[in-house]
Amino acid sequence: MISDGAAMPLGGQDGEPPEAQPAAAALERIADARATRDVLTGLPNRAVMLDRIGQALADGSRSGGCTAVLSVGLDRLQQINAEHGRPAGDALARRVASQLAGALRLMDTVGRFDGGEFAVLTPVLESPIHAVDLSARLITELARRPRQGDDGEGVAASIGVAVSVGGRGTPESLLEEAGAAMRRARSLGGARAEVFDDSLWLKVQQRWIARQMLQKALDERRVAVHYQPIVDLADGRVTGYEGLARIGESDGSILPPGAFLPAAEDSGLVVSLGGQVLEQACRDARAWQSPDDTLAAPSVSVNLSARQFRSGDLPAAVRAQLKRSGLDPRQLHLELTETAITGPQPALIEQLRQLRDLGVQLGLDDFGSGLVSLTQLLRLPLTYVKIDRAIAQGDGSDPSSTQLLTGAIGLAAELGLRSIAEGVETDAQLERLRELGCDEAQGYLFARPLPLHELPETLRDHNKRSSWRL
């Protein structure tokens, strides 16, 4: 019933070359394989893993036996994608797939999920402790050089273990538990295994509650967008506003993204969330006007998640919202993070080109915080970078942060990109940014993100108090 998870190429699996098969049958086989296998590694995908875990739990509830699910995450995959390009990351994932498949018993299954995470099912275990032994063995196996003479290096992996005794839980809950334990292993420095326990149980429950809450808010269209002004440092003019997602609760309280984005990201709800934010932002910005005819109307910046690029129809969705709202495409700025640009490069760049062809401007968020390489930066059709708050907040007291800030602003200028600093809270920070030639800034010094109806009043008040013309 449960077969091994060894990599299986698509097509031609019965020894007959694919071209010898009738075309329709070959296509059908490929479609079937795609529905059950991860295309990159040929391993079972999430749907198959859920099915097999379900079978193991059913057996467990009859026999009272023990089943384990392991979530295996590669600690540096994102960094490798960023530094050496996606093909290097893909090659690594394939290698890990075959190492994992080779290290398991025949009755075990290894699968790979979207986002580069692997899962291992051991349907029958003598005792939970054997799952911990197995994790330690897999970590050691992956950390070794793959084969003698092979020039690859070992890989650091974090493993989370969830155990079910007597069929406890559901396939989804076991995967969730294993994932939570894996994230804890990673947060403790990686290259180690952690077992799901009561302290993590609370976290899983919280995430589950957050997901339900978000789903409800999306259904009831309670997602609001707050706007934070972005100021031109040359003349103090507000050039635009960044739209930031909020959820309005029935008691009048407002939830910030930290309360729902993690649950949105790992459930895929972030795609619907992004759609609702985009729709509102375009509609709101349509009414914004410039103070006089010589200036462009204020822009609206919308944050995009990596998942929205993976959903495949982002340019079409943006085009539809622009059409529906009547917003001038030049007014719409889309911000992507470094995780979004570590996805499959040709597909990503094609989507970015299509967005640029619509007339939309693209910016890289959290610039300077991490991994993006110069080569990557050059390949992306960007118009601006948002300098990460941690760097922008330097006030000159720490020489290394000043170097980073100078470097980030200088690099942006050299690449012909506008630089926008975020998180500006003090006059000293602002002065420093102006001295270093940063183009624009946003932060609590000017205004917090505000509901649409509070924008004009706050800006007027601020104007009276501040030497900045807002």
By a kind-dependent CB cut-off of 5 to 8 A, residue 449 interacts, out of Ca ion, ligand C2E, none, with ligand C2E
Q: Residue 111 and residue 10: Cα distance in Å, rounded?
A: 15
Q: Does 178 bind ligand C2E (CB under 6 A)?
A: no
405-425 as b/e: b if 16+ CB within 10 A = bbebbebbeeeebbbbbbbbe
Nearer to ligand C2E (CB atom), residue 99 or residue 442: 442
Q: Does 194 bind Ca ion (CB under 5 A)?
A: no
Which 3 state secondary structure label does DSSP give 246?
Answer: strand
Element spanning 160, H or E: strand 157-165
Residues 332-371 that bind ligand C2E (CB under 6 A): 365-366
Nearer to Ca ion (CB atom), residue 141 or residue 365: 365
For 279-435, list the strands marked E by DSSP: 299-303, 332-336, 361-367, 384-387, 418-421
Element spanning 232, H or E: strand 223-232
Using CB atoms within 10 Å of the CB of residue 239, give its burial: 0 to 12 exposed, 13 to 18 middle, 19+ buried.
buried
Q: Which stretch binds Ca ion (CB under 5 A): 106-114, 250-258, 363-371, 373-381?
A: 363-371
Q: Residue 460 and residue 469: Cα distance in Å, rounded?
A: 9
Binding mask 279-318 for Ca ion (x = CB under 5 A): ------------------------x---------------
Closest CA to 38 of 103, 96, 124: 96
Q: Does 218 bind ligand C2E (CB under 6 A)?
A: no
Among 38, 279, 366, 439, binds Ca ion (CB under 5 A): 366
Nearer to Ca ion (CB atom), residue 338 or residue 365: 365
Residues 12-51 that bind ligand C2E (CB under 6 A): none
Nearer to Ca ion (CB atom), residue 73 or residue 443: 443
Q: Does 404 bind ligand C2E (CB under 6 A)?
A: no
Q: Residue 183 and residue 188: Cα distance in Å, rounded?
A: 9
Nearer to ligand C2E (CB atom), residue 174 or residue 261: 261
Nearer to Ca ion (CB atom), residue 284 or residue 366: 366
Q: Which ranges constitute the DSSP H helices of 122-197?
A: 128-143, 171-187
Closest CA to 280 of 321, 333, 331, 337: 321
The per-residue DSSP string of 279-312 comes to HHHHHHHHT---SSTTSPPPEEEEE--HHHHHTS
Residues 269-288 that bind ligand C2E (CB under 6 A): 270, 274, 277
Yes or no: say if 253 and 308 are a contact pair by the CB < 8 Å rule.
Answer: no
Q: Residue 124 and residue 64: Cα distance in Å, rounded?
A: 10
From residue 361, alpha-carbon distances to 76, 230, 287, 333, 378 in Å are: 31, 15, 19, 5, 16
Among 117, 141, 194, 335, binds Ca ion (CB under 5 A): 335
Q: Residue 314 and residue 336: Cα distance in Å, rounded?
A: 12
Nearest approach, Cβ of residue 194 and ligand C2E (Å): 27
Q: Which stretch binds ligand C2E (CB under 6 A): 26-34, 93-101, 168-176, 437-445?
A: 437-445
Nearest approach, Cβ of residue 302 and Ca ion (Å): 9
Yes or no: say if 161 and 181 are a contact pair by the CB < 8 Å rule.
Answer: yes
By a kind-dependent CB cut-off of 5 to 8 A, residue 116 interacts, out of Ca ion, ligand C2E, none, with none
Among 42, 160, 275, 443, binds ligand C2E (CB under 6 A): 443
Binding mask 228-267 for ligand C2E (x = CB under 6 A): x---------------xx----------xxx--x------
Q: Which stretch binds ligand C2E (CB under 6 A): 3-11, 84-92, 214-222, 297-305?
A: 297-305
By a kind-dependent CB cut-off of 5 to 8 A, residue 244 interacts, out of Ca ion, ligand C2E, none, with ligand C2E
Chain residues in the site for ligand C2E (CB under 6 A): 228, 244-245, 256-258, 261, 270, 274, 277, 303-305, 365-366, 422-425, 442-444, 449
> Applying CB under 5 A, which residues contact Ca ion?
303, 335, 365-366
